[in-house]
Amino acid sequence: MKQSGGGAEVDERLAALLSNANAIRAIAAAVEGTIGPKGLDTMLVDRFGEVTITNDGVTILEQMDVNHPAARMLINIARAQQNEIGDGTTTATIVASGLISEGVNQVVRGVPVARVIEGLNYGIKRALGFIKEHSRPVESLSDPVLERIAYIAGRENADIAELVVEAARLVGAEKLKDPNFKLADTVLAQEGAENEVFLGLILDRVRLNNQMPREKSAVKVLVLDDALEPEEIEAEALGTETGFGKYLEVQEEFRANINKLVEMGVGLVLVRKGVHNIAEEILTDAEILVVDRVAGDMLRLVADHTGARVVKRSALKKSVPDLDNYLGFAAEVYEDEKLEQVRILGGSAKPMATFLVGAATEEVVGERERIACDAASSLQAAVRGGVVPGGGALEIAVARELARAREDKRGMSAYGVDCVVEALKRPLGQIVANAGFNPLEKVEEVWAAQNEAHSDDVGINCENGSIVSMFAEGVVDPALVKIHALKAAAEVAEAILRIDTIIKRKDPVSPSGQVQEAGEVTNLDF
């Protein structure tokens, strides 16, 4: 196998590396046009003609039809970035592509892969340390920088940015710093709804039946991660006198337990699964609001907000004092018939803010929700880890630091540091390219301007191409987004560069003994 480039002949052993690098490049090309204030949207079309139009990197990656294993590795890394931080997937993808491309170039030149990886890891470690040292903490939730974070991550949708900031202030800094809490989980977009933020939760469900009250105040809340049904009796047992007697006993006990809830003054019952007709009848007569088929994650949020404990149906057998300890409290519960949802407001435990994002049509609901989730995730990341200059300026500052640090590396591993330097230039290069400027020219301008000003926040104004201070312009990013994006990019780059051979596994055999077909591992289909 030969490849032009200085007349160098590439050994057959590089075939796997080149194949993987090309697949990664194809994936990056699919999302790089979306980055920056002038980034454009991507249209995704499935085989049924259903269309998704989005600017969200992870949505594009997850919905692409991809078969190449290296490409899938990159998509998995982007998904992990999304799950961990909620933003920065496009940056991670572009940097990963840069690391791999530059790494391949060095290997083709004759640098051993092990030396490239050694230098790459050294450069990434220094880069992460630089970002952490230069991040600026967010002093309070009234800091105007949060509004800029939400505005930029929210793709300049001012209404969404305002909602995110309001929701964050309702929740409070302590909750935002809780690693188990995600502000993005409180986002809900719905066609026909008005933009709104309130302390409480929305269940995307309705009352069990229309005879139940639509609204209740000052209610005790039972959260049941189970079915509200009697214990099951095996069908075979029902055919015996003893079994039938047991059945009647279970039914009577179940009825008594439901009546116990009525006597305790329970006003709202949330159930993970179904509700037996006996329970439905008693609870309806008692004017208790019941919502069934509630997702487990939502049950836990309701429990956190109201102070209830999530229990199984066996807990209904407990005494009234014991069962009362499992109940939560909400100031108000009501069903919005137009939007077909139940709202729980004023829980007695942890504050929960929900922000409802309105959309004019069904087609834009999903995109509005993705935008709001990105804005919420970025704001929370900023509160947790501080902020850094945005617009690709930070990456150039880090690259400058690494260019100086390269002198500390002796031998061929220094070429691995070069890979990191070049890869870090790519976010700014792509941002200005999307804005219609020459990326090579603008990257060099920023590099020189940062050197001259001894500043890490000098970047490009994408409106006119001038050199500006990113902080002065309000162009900032959460430090944690940058940190995790760089970690994710380095992880997939090292994994790809280490692959020396691609071998097609033999066809697996199903339990029935039939051979199942296996796809070609080197194909990349979109």
Q: Which bin fits 167, alpha (ψ -120 to 50), beta or left (φ > 0)? A: alpha
Number of structural domains found in the chain = 2
Query: Is residue 141 pLDDT above 90, yes or no?
Result: yes
253 lies in the same domain as 331: yes
Q: Do 343 and 242 fall into the same domain?
A: yes
Answer yes or no: is pLDDT of 519 > 60: no
- The whole-model pTM stands at 0.74
Sole residue written with tokens 């890979």? 419
Q: What are phi and psi of 114, to 5 degrees?
A: -60, -40
- Claim to verify: residue 342 and residue 221 sit in the same structural domain: yes
Residues 332 and 410 reside in one and the same domain: no
Residue 521 lies inside a defined structural domain of this protein: no
Contact in structure between 509 and 515 (CB atoms under 8 Å): yes
Has residue 520 got a pLDDT over 50?
no
Is there a single domain that holds both residue 411 and residue 304? no
396 and 341 together in one domain: no
Q: Is residue 147 part of a domain?
A: no
Residue 166 DSSP SS3: helix
Residue 60 falls inside a structural domain: yes
CATH number at residue 106: 1.10.560.10
Q: Widest CA span of the chain, in angstroms?
A: 94
Give dist(CA 115, CA 121) in Å, integer: 10
Any idea which residue has 């290069």 for tokens?
429
**Across 143-154, average pLDDT:** 92
Residue 381 lies in a domain: no
Residues 319 and 419 in one domain: no
Quick one: 349 and 411 in the same domain? no
Residues 446 and 345 grouped into a single domain: no
The residues pairing with 224 across neighbouring beta strands, listed in sequence order, are 271, 311
Q: If you write DSSP's letter for every residue of 72-92 in order, what string do you get?
A: HHHHHHHHHHHHHTSS-HHHH
pLDDT higher than threshold 80 for residue 468: yes
Residue 466, SS3 per DSSP: coil
Q: Is residue 481 part of a domain?
A: yes
Least confident residue range of 25-29, 270-274, 322-326, 467-471? 25-29
Is residue 428 within 8 Å of residue 459, measured between CB atoms? yes
What CATH number has the domain bearing residue 282?
A: 3.50.7.10
Same domain, 116 and 203: no
Nearby residues of 121 by Cβ (< 8 Å), 6 or more positions away: 416, 490, 494
Residue 35 one-letter amino acid = I
| Shared domain check, 391 and 354 | no
- Whether 1 has a pLDDT exceeding 60, the answer reads no
Q: What confidence tier does 402 reach under pLDDT thresholds 50, 70, 90?
A: very high
- Whether 512 maps to a domain, the answer reads no
* Domain identity same for 304 and 404: no
- Is 212 contained in some domain? yes
Assess if residue 165 is contained within a domain. Answer: no
Residue-wise pLDDT tens digits, 301-350:
899 999 999 999 889 999 999 999 999 999 999 998 888 889 999 999 88
Residue 103 sits in which domain range? Answer: 12-136+387-497
